[in-house]
Amino acid sequence: MLERAVTALKANQADALSEINNKSNKQFHENDLYVFCFNATNGNTLAHPNPALISTDIRAFKFKGGSIGQRVFDAAKDAGFTTVDYEFPKPGTTEPVAKESFVTRVGDLGCGVGYYK
């Protein structure tokens, strides 16, 4: 799923971000898997299934276990894939659970896809 997002973002970033934010697009949303993207310079979240998180600084995301957002932001420094373990609520819930995300850099964006353990 992350590789599909990378390909789409490289082809047309604006269109890809719009499609990533479209929850009915099964290329980027399936069950509890989803793509998220943020500006790799200032942390501004540009794509996430929770609309309340759009335009927030990913580095400020904090849940049990500390600041997960800063760790995800730091993982997007390179174009290679990195994993980050943390706790985050499943969509539609508020209680954080164990999650691992694969994170990469795509031009000026950091993007990832996580799965709940």
Confidence at residue 54, expressed as pLDDT on a 0 to 100 scale: 94
**pTM for the whole structure:** 0.89
Task: Look up residue 10 and give its two tokens.
Answer: 């490289």
- 2-116 placed in CATH 3.30.450.20: yes
| 8 vs 27: CA distance, rounded Å | 10
pLDDT digits (tens, 9 = 90+) for 30-84: 988 999 999 999 999 999 988 999 999 999 987 766 778 899 999 999 878 999 9
Confidence at residue 65, expressed as pLDDT on a 0 to 100 scale: 64
Domain locations in the chain as residue ranges: 2-116
Q: Is it the case that residue 86 has pLDDT exceeding 90?
A: no
Region 7-34 average pLDDT: 94
Higher per-residue confidence, 111 vs 98: 111
Q: Where are the extended beta strands (E) located within the chain? A: 29-30, 33-39, 45-47, 62-63, 66-67, 82-89, 96-106, 109-116
